Amino acid sequence: MQIRIVIAALLLGASFIAPQAWASEPIPASLPTTATPAAVAVPQVSDQAAAIAALTKENALLQERIKSLESCSISSTDLAARNSKKLKEITADVRSQRQAMAEFESYVKWMSGHVASYSKYIQASSVAARFVKFFPIPYAGQASLFTKFVSDSAVSLAAASVSINKYLGTSQQFLSRADALDPNKPTYNQDVSDLVRFADHDLLKGMTEVQDRLTTTSQLSASSLSFLESVNHYVGSGDEALTKAKSFLKSDDKAEKSFLAESTASLKNKAQVFNGKLQLFDATVKKTSPQIKALVAYDDLARSLDPKFAKK
């Protein structure tokens, strides 16, 4: 019986000591070190893959952008071709202007002769002013001022005639050079560039100068017409004091009709036709002027792309 009790006590002690001994043993170093690197390595590989994917996508976008830029690139020759086309379009308006120049020139010459004949009306006004204390006719009794008006008008009309003839020469030179543009010539780019500069410096300048001169001519016509209508009104009245003045205003072969009234009607009709054509001319100037300025802008770009062909 005692032996059984001793054996049971030994077994019980062994079962108690074994767990304590196991707990006191050190933990192998390999257990934590194998788990930690595995947890860190996975996110590093994932980040690198994402970065590579982003760079690949960005590179593909850049390649597409480069191809797009290459497909829409423009050269100085392209710009020269564009300007050449626009120059030829402008020639249509220039030809239209040249057709009107002949009529403008004819009207200016007629106005010059018409104004020169005012000496008769000046004399009539002076005579009438001697008989009438108050004669409400422009320049009546002020022959010196009206003489100055006639003189200034003659100078202005002469200047208009000179501008018209000069523009006829300039515009013809422009048309000839525009018609001669040939993309097969080695000097094509330079020829287009030179003609653009000619259009800006010479053609446009002559065009606007003619416009200014013709506008002044229109104003002179309006002033002359106003004077003639006033004189015709008062001289055509029944005032006996103006009888002597009337004698200065009748032509020898027009006894039944006042020469002054005939002259007034002629000026009115011619002025209306002239002003109508002047409006059409103004319209072409307003259209052509910005077109030429646009050509200069494109030519500047062409020169910056290929400055060697246009160093002037």
Residue with tokens 């050190």: 26
Q: Based on the domain organization, do 146 and 43 belong to the same domain?
A: no
- Domain-embedded: residue 179: yes
- Euclidean distance between the first and the last CA atom of the chain, given in angstroms as a whole number: 133
Q: Among the three residues 73, 88, 117, which one is the final residue of a domain in this structure?
A: 73
Rounded Cα gap, residues 101 and 79, in angstroms: 32
Q: Based on the domain organization, do 47 and 167 belong to the same domain?
A: no
Q: Among the three residues 73, 96, 131, which one is the final residue of a domain in this structure?
A: 73
- Domain-embedded: residue 162: yes
Q: Among the three residues 17, 48, 73, which one is the final residue of a domain in this structure?
A: 73
> What pLDDT is recorded for position 113?
84
Cα pseudo-dihedral 117, 279, 165, 225, rounded to 10: 10
Q: What is the pTM of this model?
A: 0.65
> What pLDDT is recorded for position 109?
92
Classify residue 94 by its DSSP letter: H
Rounded Cα gap, residues 17 and 31, in angstroms: 25
Counting Cα atoms < 13 Å in the Cβ hemisphere of 238 gives 0
**For the CA atoms of the chain, what is the radius of gyration?**
49
Sign of the alpha-carbon dihedral angle for 153, 159, 162, 164? negative
Kindly report, residue by residue over 214-229, the tens digit of the pLDDT.
999 998 888 888 777 7
> What pLDDT is recorded for position 265?
84
Rounded Cα gap, residues 311 and 247, in angstroms: 70
Q: Based on the domain organization, do 235 and 264 belong to the same domain?
A: yes
Q: Based on the domain organization, do 45 and 144 belong to the same domain?
A: no
- Domain-embedded: residue 256: yes
Q: Based on the domain organization, do 129 and 250 belong to the same domain?
A: yes
- Please name which of 196, 218, 199 lies closest in space to residue 282, comparing C-alpha atoms: 218
Q: Are 189 and 309 in contact (CB under 8 A)?
A: yes
CATH number, position 261: 1.20.1170
Q: Based on the domain organization, do 193 and 268 belong to the same domain?
A: yes
Rounded Cα gap, residues 282 and 97, in angstroms: 10
- Domain-embedded: residue 82: yes
From the number of C-beta atoms within 10 Å of its C-beta (0-12, 13-18, 19+), residue 118 rates as buried
Q: Based on the domain organization, do 163 and 150 belong to the same domain?
A: yes
- Domain-embedded: residue 259: yes
Q: Based on the domain organization, do 68 and 103 belong to the same domain?
A: no
Q: Based on the domain organization, do 66 and 85 belong to the same domain?
A: no
Q: Based on the domain organization, do 58 and 194 belong to the same domain?
A: no
Q: Based on the domain organization, do 54 and 110 belong to the same domain?
A: no
Classify residue 182 by its DSSP letter: -
Classify residue 257 by its DSSP letter: S
Residue 106 falls in which region: left (phi positive, over 0), alpha (psi -120 to 50) or beta = alpha
C-alpha angle 25/28/31, rounded to 5°?
Answer: 140
Query: Which residues are CB-neighbours of 300 under 8 A, at least 6 positions away?
Result: none
Rounded Cα gap, residues 178 and 48, in angstroms: 64
Classify residue 133 by its DSSP letter: S
- Domain-embedded: residue 16: no
- Please name which of 270, 152, 43 lies closest in space to residue 160, comparing C-alpha atoms: 152
> What pLDDT is recorded for position 161?
94
- Domain-embedded: residue 3: no
Tell me the two tokens of residue 251. Answer: 């032509």
- Domain-embedded: residue 177: yes
Ranges of the chain whose pLDDT falls below 50: 1-42, 131-142, 241, 249, 251-257
Rounded Cα gap, residues 230 and 240, in angstroms: 18
Rounded Cα gap, residues 15 and 256, in angstroms: 161
Tell me the two tokens of residue 169. Answer: 């020469």
- Give the domain range for residue 202: 76-309
Q: Based on the domain organization, do 280 and 206 belong to the same domain?
A: yes
Q: What domain count does the chain have?
A: 2
